Copies of this chain bind each other. A is one copy, B any other.
Amino acid sequence: MTELRKDPITGTWVILAEERGKRPAPPEKYESIITKGGFCPFCEGNEKKTPPENFALRVKGSSPNSPGWRIRVVSNKYPALTTNGELNPRGEGIYDKMNGIGLHEVIIEAPIHATRITHLSWDYIPDILEVYKNRLFNASKDPRYRYGLIFKNTGISAGATIEHNHSQLIATPVIPITIAQEMAGAKKFFDYRGRCIYCDILYQELENKKRIIIDGKSFVALAPFASRFPFETWILPKKHCSHFTSIKEEELLEMAKVLYDVLKKLDISLEEPPYNYVIHTAPFSENEIAYYHWHLEILPRTARLAGFEFGTGFHINSVPPETAAEEMRSIEI
Contact = CB atoms under 8 A, between A and B. Distances in A.
Contacts of A302: 24-25, 30
Contacts of A198: 9
A159 B304 contact: yes
Nearest to A169: B308
A66 B104 CA distance: 58
Interface residues of A, number: 100
A21 B197 CA distance: 30
A204 interface: yes
A65 B99 CA distance: 57
B303 A273 contact: no
Contact of A316 (B15, B179, B315, B316): B15
Contacts of A129: none
Contacts of A26: 271
Interface stretch (A44-52, A54-62, A149-157, A250-258): A149-157
A306 B158 contact: yes
Interface centre among A26, A172, A280, A316 (most CB of B within 10 A): A316
Contacts of A37: none
Interface in A259-279: 270-274, 276-279
Interface of A: 3, 5-18, 20-27, 30-31, 80, 92-95, 147, 149, 151-153, 155-160, 168, 170, 172, 176-179, 181-182, 185-186, 189, 197-198, 200-201, 204, 208, 224-228, 230-231, 270-274, 276-280, 297, 299-320, 323
